């Protein structure tokens, strides 16, 4: 029988790309999104892409009763994939209460709704930020959870801890933590892509906006880090590779019904790319110059972090297929048509 999956944040960046793939793989999908940081056009893009009408529950996950009612009415579901959250590190530094008040109650309420409705499988959008400023890189899932470097990071660490506690009480309830490195790029069709309501603070969308003339200049945050060219090193992973990892994690959880241990997976490409290398990858792929200047270091940035994804490779049989060039090519294609 067709499995029915609830995707919160279904109109957001990774959520919309994961829905596209879930539908392609034959799942019945219900999106949950109140468009607080996304656009209704994402549903239209998904409908064009998949040829299906996508059901969406317009629910505020911070409202417990509203969440409980909506999920109970739309149930049964075989699984929940929980993306909905605020995600900007810098914004969280400026507005910590906003991050705590949104990211924490929403995960608690959706987890409670899952438990009350007997939904066993729960895939949670986590982040490499849970490792803090790791002493040894690449980081594995055994790297200790670090001190949070931002309120955003603290919400991810807290949510993982809370879901772990819930699993101790309700042993059948099975969360999986997917720890993303730097998600970027867009669907090859350019029918969906990243389109938060608030200005982006991430490198790849900013590069695209500068080249599109929507911003004047990119500031490279520091060029005297202890890295090969002095700029920060990150692990940029294509959003469609992430979508594929979600399907693999979901399928593993669905197959292993009786196994209730919590699993965590690092999702990155396992290679670091510096900010200056990212700029030159963009220039090489698109033939366009990026107007940039070296600026001040950004508080909270670590010099370098990248993934050891060998656990995901072994257990999920997942391998990222797309490169930094694919990221730049699809992000630029999307930038030119985005709503």
| Residues with active-site annotation | 152
Cα dihedral across residues 267, 320, 271, 286: positive or negative: negative
Of 115-123, 127-135, 136-144, 255-263: span binding ligand UFG (CB under 6 A): 127-135
**Helix, strand and coil in the chain, % to nearest 5:** 40, 15, 40
Which residue has the CB atom at the shortest distance from ligand UFG? 232
Interface size with ligand UFG, residues (CB under 6 A): 20
Residue 238 binds ligand UFG, judged by CB under 6 A: no
103 vs 120, beta carbon nearer ligand UFG: 103
Q: How does 12-46 read in b/e, with b if 16+ C-beta sit within 10 Å?
A: bbbbbbbbbbbbeeebebbbbbbeebbbeebbebb
- Opening angle at CA 193, ends 107 and 296, nearest 5: 80
Q: Does 266 bind ligand UFG (CB under 6 A)?
A: no
Q: What track of x and - describes contact with ligand UFG for positions 190 through 209 (by CB under 6 A)?
A: -----------xxx--x---
Does residue 127 bind ligand UFG (CB under 6 A)? Answer: yes
Figure out which of the listed residues 129, 155, 253, 264 binds ligand UFG, where binding follows CB under 6 A.
129
Minimum CB separation of residue 50 from ligand UFG in Å reads: 27
Q: Is 243 in the site for ligand UFG (CB under 6 A)?
A: no
Pick the binder of ligand UFG from 221, 262, 280, 283 (CB under 6 A): 221
Nearer to ligand UFG, 114 or 272 (CB): 272
Buried b (16+ CB within 10 A) or exposed e, 210-229: bbeeebeebebbbbebebee
Q: Which backbone phi and psi does 234 adopt, to 5 degrees?
A: -135, 170
How far apart are the C-alpha atoms of 77 and 151, rounded to whole Å?
A: 31
| Region for residue 278 given its phi and psi (left: phi exceeds 0; alpha: psi -120 to 50; beta: otherwise) | alpha
List residues binding ligand UFG (CB under 6 A): 87, 89, 127-129, 182, 201-203, 206, 218-221, 232, 234, 275, 298, 301, 305
């Amino acid at each position: 029988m067709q499995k029915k999956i609830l995707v919160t944040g279904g109109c957001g960046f990774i959520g919309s790309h994961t829905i596209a793939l879930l539908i392609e793989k034959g799942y019945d999908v219900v999106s949950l999104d109140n468009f607080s940081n996304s656009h209704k056009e994402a549903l239209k893009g998904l409908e064009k892409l998949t040829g299906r009408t996508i059901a969406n529950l317009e629910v505020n996950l911070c409202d417990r009763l509203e969440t409980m009612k909506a999920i109970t009415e739309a149930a049964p579901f075989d699984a929940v994939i929980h993306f909905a959250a605020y995600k900007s590190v810098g914004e969280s530094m400026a507005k910590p209460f906003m991050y705590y008040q949104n990211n924490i109650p929403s995960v608690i309420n959706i987890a409670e709704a899952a438990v009350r409705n007997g939904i066993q499988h729960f895939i949670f959008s986590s982040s490499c930020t849970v490792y803090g400023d790791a002493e040894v890189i690449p980081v594995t899932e055994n790297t200790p959870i670090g001190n949070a470097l931002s309120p955003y990071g603290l919400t991810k660490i807290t949510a993982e801890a809370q879901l772990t506690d819930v699993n101790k009480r309700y042993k059948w309830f099975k969360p999986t933590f997917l720890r993303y490195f730097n998600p970027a790029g867009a669907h090859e069709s350019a029918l969906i892509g990243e389109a938060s309501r608030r200005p982006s603070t991430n490198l790849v969308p900013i590069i695209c906006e500068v080249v599109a003339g929507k911003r004047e200049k990119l500031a490279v945050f520091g060029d005297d880090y202890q890295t090969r060219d002095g700029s920060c090193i990150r692990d940029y992973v294509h959003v469609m590779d992430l979508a594929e990892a979600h399907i693999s994690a979901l399928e593993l959880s669905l197959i292993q019904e009786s196994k209730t241990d919590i699993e965590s997976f690092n999702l990155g490409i396992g290679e670091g790319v510096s900010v200056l290398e990212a700029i030159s990858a963009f220039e090489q792929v698109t033939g366009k110059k990026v107007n940039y200047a070296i600026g001040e270091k950004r508080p909270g940035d670590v010099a370098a972090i990248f993934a050891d994804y060998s656990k995901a490779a072994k257990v999920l049989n997942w391998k990222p297929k797309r490169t930094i060039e694919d990221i730049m090519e699809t992000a630029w294609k999307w930038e030119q048509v985005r709503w």
